[in-house]
Amino acid sequence: MKQEREFFDVEGVPWRAAEGAPGVRERVLSAADEVVLTRIARWEPGLDTSAAGVIRHEYAEEVYLLEGELTDLTLGETFTAGHYACRPPGMPHGPYRTAGGCTMLEIRHRV
């Protein structure tokens, strides 16, 4: 279970390199472990995840784009601020490319 957190200023949470995700920095807002977490992730301009191929994971994931743009190369669609995704475990998605970078709120949980 994630730790209890009352309202706090997110600016006080340092950005760090996301483990195993070159070109991604994160602010982990709350976490129980490496899977169950809430974070803000920032993808640097020009990031392309094609080398990783289509992504699948064993946890559920919700993503809300806060700023920038993200292109799903499989779907051939570009998503911008205000777009939301909800992915159950095993749902294929990506790979992705972002020309100008993007920032997203991501919530992961086990089902």
Domains of the chain by residue range: 39-111
The answer, yes or no, to whether residue 76 has pLDDT greater than 90, is yes
Domain 39-111 annotated CATH 3.90.1150.10: no
Q: What's the pLDDT score for residue 3?
A: 85
Reduce the DSSP state of residue 96 to 3 states and report it: strand
Whole-Å CA distances, 4 to 1, 7, 32, 50, 81:
9, 10, 10, 37, 28
Q: Which of 57, 7, 14, 50 is nearest to 36 (CA)?
A: 57
Question: pLDDT tens-digit profile of 26-48?
Answer: 999 999 998 899 999 999 999 99
Average confidence (pLDDT) over 76-104: 98
Q: What's the pLDDT score for residue 108?
A: 96
